[in-house]
Amino acid sequence: MDKVRAAADDRKREYRVEELAEAAGITTRTLRFYRERKLLQPPRKEGRIAWYGEEHLARLRMIGELLDRGHTLGGIAELIGAGESGRDVAELIGLEAAIVAPWSDETPVRLDWDELRTVFGDQLTEENTAESIAQGYITVEEDGITHVSRRLMDATTELVAEGVPLSAVLEASRRTREHVDAIAEVFIEVVSEHLLSALSADTPLPPGEAARLTERIMRVRPLARTVADAQFTLAMDRRVHVEYAELLRQRRENGPEA
């Protein structure tokens, strides 16, 4: 009985402003700022004293967690408004996580300057380094570089080992990036128009819709990668046949000596 009574007392516990701020790990100034932004429910007033309950503490902790995840205060206010209008905040957070989750699973790799000189020799020039930085693939430190993708770095070193100049690899990388950005734009347009159009509407999402959208996005993500990979390999088949036919034609025109 005493435990039940203690649990009930905990649920009914109330805090003054300073006590609530301390329990939430924030300053009273921050707490008042949240109140002004309507991120926190109004307190219970008893004369001139404002009393806050466990629901206020839970709200402050949720705000802290969302800020740690990179949400802005404006976005948090929208999520809280959604919850207060009957929509499931957890579902909306899950939908956002599905939308902005990384598509790549690349592992960064770090190389010191001695390793880079061993691999690239005199091709490790200021111009090639500057081009790599400009493309956003490497960051330079005093004792070496960090490349965002071990797979791309391995491919680069192997191409150079096969005799392709590093400058040519970087030029191909730049041109390829332009095309893949265009491919990504196509997929973004398709997903925005046909899967996420409900998000741009003025009306709130109906109950459960955020969860349904999250499931659809998670199903579509691997399909987009499959389509892009299949389209690339088919394009390579077409181009290889065209280029090889042209090579044979030139050899025939050049006669037996060719």
pLDDT, one tens digit per residue, over 178-202 is: 999 999 999 989 888 888 887 766 6
Instruction: Please give the C-alpha separations between residue 140 and each of 97, 116, 160, 168, 206, in angstroms, as whole numbers.
Output: 31, 12, 20, 21, 49
Q: What is the pLDDT of residue 5?
A: 45
pTM assigned to the model: 0.61
Token digits of residue 119: 């691999």
Per-residue pLDDT tens for 25-71?
999 999 999 988 888 888 999 888 899 998 898 888 888 888 887 77
CB 87 within 8 A of CB 205: yes
- Which string of b and e fits 197-206 if b means at least 16 CB within 10 Å? eeeeeeeebe
- Look at residue 135 and tell me whether its pLDDT is greater than 90: yes
- Look at residue 99 and tell me whether its pLDDT is greater than 80: no
- Share of residues in the chain with pLDDT > 70 (%): 88
Name the band, by pLDDT with cuts 50, 70 and 90, for residue 211: confident
Q: What is the pLDDT of residue 90?
A: 67
Fill in the amino acid letter for 145.
Answer: I
CB 39 within 8 A of CB 74: no
